[in-house]
Amino acid sequence: DAPYVPGWDCHGLPIEHMVEKKKGKVGQKISADEFRAACREYADKQIKKQKVDFKRLGIFGDWDNPYLTKNFKYEADIVRALGKIVKNGHLTKGFKPVHWCTECSSALAEAEVEYKDKGSDTVDVAFNVVGDFFGKDKPVSLIIWTTTPWTLPANEAVSLHPDLDYALVDVGKVLYIMSEDLLESSLERYGIKDFKKISKIYKGSELEGIMLQHPFYDKQVPVILGEHVTTETGTGAVHTAPAHGQDDYVVGLQYNLPVECPVDGRGVFIESTEGVAGEFIFKANATIIDLLKNQGTLVKHEPITHSYPHCWRHKTPVIFRATPQWFVSMTQKNLRDKVNDEILNVKWIPNWGQKRIELMVGNRPDWCISRQRYWGSPITLFINKNTGELHPDTENLFEVVAKKIELEGIEAWFKLKAEDVLGSEAKDYEKTTDTLDVWFDSGVSHYAVLKASDYLSDVADMYLEGSDQHRGWFQSSLLTSCAINERAPYKQVLTHGFTVDQNGHKMSKSLGNVIPPQKVVNSLGADILRLWIGSTDYSGEMTVSDEILNRSADSYRRIRNTMRFMLANMQGFDPKNDLVDINNMLILDRWIVSKTHDLQQQVINEYDNYNFHFVMKAILNFCTNDLGGFYLDIIKDRQYTTQTDSLARRSAQSALFHISHAMVRWLSPILTFTSEEIWQFLPGASNESVFLQTWYEGLEGNFDNPVIEASRDINTHLRKELEDMRRNKIIGSSLDAEVDIYCKDDNYQNLLGLKDELRFVFITSEARVNQLSDKPTDAKEINSSLAIKVEKSDHQKCVRCWHHRPEIGQNKVHQDLCDRCIENVFGEGENRVFA
């Protein structure tokens, strides 16, 4: 009913990185073709290893037919999916700043960026005002604050907010202008205590167009206006380098500012960059600070530690760098609006996932899908050398190339010559050399797997992954599906938290706190690991440690021993001949079957809502309290002392049959191996696997019995009294005791009706019920309506049932048996009604 096709993302930087370690970089020791072949080989080896681990974990899937993004058919479908997106008008090309990793020498997607603390140089820099706009006899400087001094060579303007108030302040030899809201905090940072604020306040909009002197280059830049300027930090004036920031780029477009990037792909300033040519950007900070000092434009320099984007693979700081890239536009053809509409049609589990992805989609820039790498799906476009436009027959060319890739893989594109498909037109066109963002590969699985399969629906019932995938797979799938099909690719999205150690720390090799799943599987078994997962609230971080896993092992033993006891006590039970109709069962057996029925409704409901931890909590409570703490102990006497085919024994076995058939199904999604093992020994089980069954339908509910509830309550208190006597070595087992119960009218009448069977419920040799008003002084008062008196029995012990009874020894033939055992062994058997 819920087919799962496992899949592997095979392209991209992680594999390139591993192959580079072994083979070296392309162009040094290995050609691009050899490198791609090595990447394929590496991916194959990892898939083989991981597939074994997944199977060992008991994960069901079509492991013989997984989808691999490196399979030729999938690679061809990636090209076809891109063709659909181009056809629908969502692809754009732009010279825009994108996240760039200098280690990868490639653009990165939002999903490939992670934030962590980094030390940076911050500088407050004076941009001297050109001309006499302010009409003062002292020079005026507009002060900016930045955490990236290395971007100052690319400065093209200073941005102010049009509606902010800007103040002019006399600090001695010069006048500073900055946001009025940030004036005092800025001057305090500079250590300036002696200053005079000029009375006139300027709106940012009044200062638009003023020209400023670049702080160390011989050029002038304008004051421009931007809504992105805030008063959270800094001075309210933002140094603007369109080549190195998204906001800078956007505001620069409005003013036709040049987008000139002085930094190459390795993060090194190009030769024409005055003063810092050949220097790595972060090392160049010191040089730039010296340039500012020499020009007298450095107002303040101080180091800070702040959250900064890093490459998720290399763990190195990334930069914004303007390069020609291909983008899926969020605004062209209203893609963002469509995605936002579709988010509302998806069920998000937990429900906070909806708000999370709405915020991400609402704030995200255009999706940069191009990469400058070797191991990836190619962007199969032909660009006119003169106009930069796509070939007019691009739609058909996508299919031509896809068919070639379907036969030979992505290598077909890299060895393809333009004339092979364009003929005489080839001289006017060039092939793109960029590859696709790997999130595009995985993001089109709805097209390459669902749509391409005969037995799968075009829309998946569910996507399931970690919470980081709201910016990864969930989002790339949503964007591509809306761009291709104008709908979400899934009906539901379930998100789980990350695994952390007992101190709440993220697991990492560097911290030495990783617990490999293979270690748990080999030492405790796969079902222990599955039980821990199934018992943990996945909506937040999932804490794991050896101690927690050992607790899961204890819970597992509780469940396994419960099932083992029930299977053992169905020995010789054939449901075809021995199953007792529920309406003919003993009262206690009818009650436990009804209890099982009600619990099954709860279990199904929790499964339907993916509350796996509530399922396991309910099952464990059932095993511990209803079964192990009450019912199973009571039926031992019937199982071991009544006649084999008696109603009393077969009724109990029938109840165990119903409970076991229900429970094995409840457990099977979580304890897969154990459930299948149980199924093989379960009377009445088909030869097919438990995983081919549906929920058990042999249960009946709506059976309430006040006697059972009353006796359970009393039994809880009685167990404590009996345990005290055992601890004090007055008795060995509860059957060495006799009990008198003193209670009020309702319970008195209910329990009185059990007659001699009350002792079987309390598992004592004698149990008498009395009016509370007859309570003796030596009875233990439990509460205002209950008292208990427990004494050691003075009677002999029956060697068969171990009950102490007054009649033992009176039968001359069977002097060591009680009357009940004599009847069960030599007569027609005792008659039970209740327990």
What pLDDT is attached to residue 313?
A: 79
Same domain, 262 and 364: no
Residue 182 lies in a domain: yes
The arithmetic mean of pLDDT across residues 695-710, rounded, is 93
Give the list of residues 6+ apart from residue 253 with CB closer than 8 angstroms, or none. 242
Q: Where are the beta strands (DSSP E) in 416-496?
A: 429-431, 435-436, 460-466, 490-496
Same domain, 713 and 686: no
| 38: three-class secondary structure by DSSP | helix
Do β-strands 499-500 and 542-543 pair in parallel, antiparallel, or remain unpaired? parallel
Q: Which of 762, 778, 794 is the last residue in one of the domains? A: 794
Residue 505 lies in a domain: no
The DSSP line for 361-422 is: HHH---EE-EE--SSS-B---EEETTT-PBPTTHHHHHHHHHHHHHHH-THHHHH--HHHHH
What pLDDT is attached to residue 135?
A: 83
Q: 328 has which bridge partners? A: 91, 367
The arithmetic mean of pLDDT across residues 538-562, rounded, is 94
Helix H, strand E, coil C: the string for 567-620 is HHCCCCCCHHHHCCCHHHCCHHHHHHHHHHHHHHHHHHHHHHCCCHHHHHHHHH
Report the CATH number at residue 731. 3.30.2320.20
Report the CATH number at residue 646. 1.10.730.20
Whether the per-residue pLDDT at 247 is higher than 70: the answer is: yes
Residue 282 lies in a domain: yes
pLDDT digits (tens, 9 = 90+) for 603-641: 999 999 999 999 999 999 999 999 999 999 999 999 999
CA distance 678 to 652: 19
Residue 96 lies in a domain: no
Q: Cβ distance 616 to 670 under 8 Å?
A: yes
Same domain, 523 and 460: no
Single out the residue of 271, 251, 250, 253 nearest to residue 262, CA to CA. Answer: 271
Report the CATH number at residue 141. 3.90.740.10
Q: Which of 494, 510, 529 is the last residue in one of the domains? A: 494
Compute CA distances 24 → 16, 253, 611, whole Å: 10, 41, 48
Whether the per-residue pLDDT at 358 is higher than 90: the answer is: yes
Do β-strands 91-101 and 106-107 pair in parallel, antiparallel, or remain unpaired? antiparallel
Tell me how far the alpha carbon of residue 341 is from its chain's centroid.
Answer: 24
DSSP state of 822: H
Q: 306 has which bridge partners? A: 118
Compute CA distances 69 → 11, 264, 362, 369, 553, whole Å: 7, 31, 29, 16, 38
Same domain, 357 and 263: no
Report the CATH number at residue 487. 3.40.50.620
The arithmetic mean of pLDDT across residues 129-151, rounded, is 93
Q: Cβ distance 206 to 137 under 8 Å?
A: no
Phi–psi pair at 211, nearest 5 degrees:
-95, 140
Residue 532 lies in a domain: yes
pLDDT digits (tens, 9 = 90+) for 580-603: 999 999 999 999 999 999 999 999
Same domain, 182 and 63: no
What pLDDT is attached to residue 510?
A: 67
| 775: three-class secondary structure by DSSP | coil
Same domain, 74 and 129: no
The arithmetic mean of pLDDT across residues 170-189, rounded, is 94
Phi–psi pair at 163, nearest 5 degrees:
-105, -5
**Tokens read off for 338:** 């469509």
Q: Cβ distance 228 to 240 under 8 Å?
A: no
pLDDT digits (tens, 9 = 90+) for 59-117: 999 999 999 999 999 999 999 999 999 999 999 998 888 889 998 888 887 778 889 89
Q: What is the mean pLDDT of the chain?
A: 94
User: Which domain covers residue 612, as residue numbers?
Assistant: 518-692
pLDDT digits (tens, 9 = 90+) for 721-774: 999 999 999 999 999 999 999 999 888 998 998 999 999 999 999 999 999 999
What pLDDT is attached to residue 718?
A: 96
**Count of the separate structural domains present in the chain:** 4
pLDDT digits (tens, 9 = 90+) for 283-332: 999 999 999 999 999 999 999 999 999 998 788 999 999 888 899 999 99
Same domain, 152 and 272: yes
Same domain, 157 and 242: yes
Residue 98 lies in a domain: no
Band (661; pLDDT cuts 50, 70, 90)? very high
The arithmetic mean of pLDDT across residues 244-256, rounded, is 91
Same domain, 524 and 479: no
Same domain, 436 and 395: yes
Q: What angle do CA 465, 468, 473 make, to 5 degrees?
A: 60
DSSP state of 801: T
CA distance 249 to 242: 4
Cβ neighbour number for residue 459 with a 10 Å cutoff: 15
Same domain, 677 and 739: no
Residue 523 lies in a domain: yes
Band (504; pLDDT cuts 50, 70, 90)? confident
Whether the per-residue pLDDT at 406 is higher than 70: the answer is: yes
Same domain, 278 and 182: yes
The arithmetic mean of pLDDT across residues 359-387, rounded, is 92
Residue 578 lies in a domain: yes
Q: Which of 277, 308, 339 is the last residue in one of the domains? A: 308
